[in-house]
Amino acid sequence: MLPEYKGPAPLHWTILNGEKKTGMSLQTLHPISFDEGIILDQTPWPGIDVPEDCDYSVLLEIMQLLGADMLLNAIKNRLYLPPYIDAGWAKNAADGKKAYKHAPKIETAHKLLCFETMDSLRMARMSRAFESTWAFAAVPTRTSELKRLRIIFPKPFKILSPPSVYMDGMTDISGIPPGLPYWPDSATNEEKGRTEQPLLVNTIDGKAMLISSIQVEGSVEMPAYKAAQKHGLMPQPRHVKTKGVITFHECLTAQP
C-alpha cells in the first residue's frame, strides 16, 4: 500500500480513515527495516478508486487482483534483477521526507464501539473495516441485578437518516439515548414476524444504525431481534406494558 500506508494493516486503515484512493507497490526486502525496500513497481498517481461503502473483503479482492497483475508484470519484465530502478513516487512532507501514514496491527481493542464518543460514520467504517465489532450489553440475573455480556456485531451497520424509514411512522424515537438498541413494539411489526427483524440504535450525531445480526459471546450469530430475545438483552414483548418501542435494559457500553 506504499506510498500512502506503511505497516501490517493498510487495508483496514484505508477503510477506517475513509480514503478515496488506494494503490499497490512491489518492493524489494530491506535487510533491516519494514517497508523500506526499493519500489520496483507502483500504481500510477493518483491511485485507484476505493468503492464507496466497501468492506474489507471487497477491498481485499480488488487488491489481490491488482497485486497479481503487478507481480506477473515484474516477472515478465525481470524487474527483480539488479540493478534496481526505483519506480516509486511519494508525496513529500515539508522537510522533504516521505509523508507516510502508519497502519498499525489491528488489535481487539480497535474493534470496540463507544456510543458515547463515536458518531455513526466512524462506527459504520469500523463495521466495514473489521470482520466484526463489539460492545458490552446488560442482562438481568436471577437476583434482578444486571451483568454485562460481550456482544458481537458480525455484519456492517447501515446508517439511516432519518431512521423513520424502518419505523411505523407513529413512534417517537427522539428521546431514545445513543447506544440503546430498540425496535418498535406495534401490531404492524408483530404481523411481520419479530424473529427475523433487525434492531436500530441511535448515535450521537442524530442518526441511527441498522443492526442486522448479533452474536452473544459463546453463542452463534442470529438475527438481531431474535438474539436479543433469546439472551435476555431486552424484555419479552408480553412484559412491555406500553406500546412504542422495546429497548435493551441499558445502553451499549465500552465498559465491562
Query: Which one is predicted more confidently, 37 or 162?
Result: 37
Query: DSSP character for 44?
Result: P
Residue 94's pLDDT is: 47
The percentage of the chain sitting over the pLDDT mark of 70, rounded to a whole number, equals 83
The percentage of the chain sitting over the pLDDT mark of 90, rounded to a whole number, equals 64
List the domain boundaries for the chain: 5-102, 108-247
Residue 55's pLDDT is: 97
Note the pLDDT tens digit of each residue in 20-61.
999 999 999 988 988 888 999 999 988 999 999 999 999 999
Note the pLDDT tens digit of each residue in 89-127.
765 444 445 567 899 999 999 999 999 999 999 999 999
Give the model's confidence band at 187: pLDDT under 50 very low, under 70 low, under 90 confident, else very high: very low
Residue 232, Cβ neighbours under 10 Å: how many?
Answer: 17
Average pLDDT, the chain: 87
In CATH terms, 5-102 corresponds, of 3.40.250.10, 3.30.420.40, 3.40.50.170, 3.30.1330.10, to 3.40.50.170
Residue 245's pLDDT is: 81
Residue 46's pLDDT is: 87
Residues 128, 165: contact at Cβ < 8 Å? no
Question: All 3 cell numbers of residue 108?
Answer: 481487539
Question: All 3 cell numbers of residue 4?
Answer: 500512502
Note the pLDDT tens digit of each residue in 242-252.
457 889 999 99
Using the structure block, give the residue that is written with the C-alpha cell 515539508: 94
User: At residue 192, does pLDDT exceed 70?
Assistant: no
Give the model's confidence band at 188: pLDDT under 50 very low, under 70 low, under 90 confident, else very high: very low
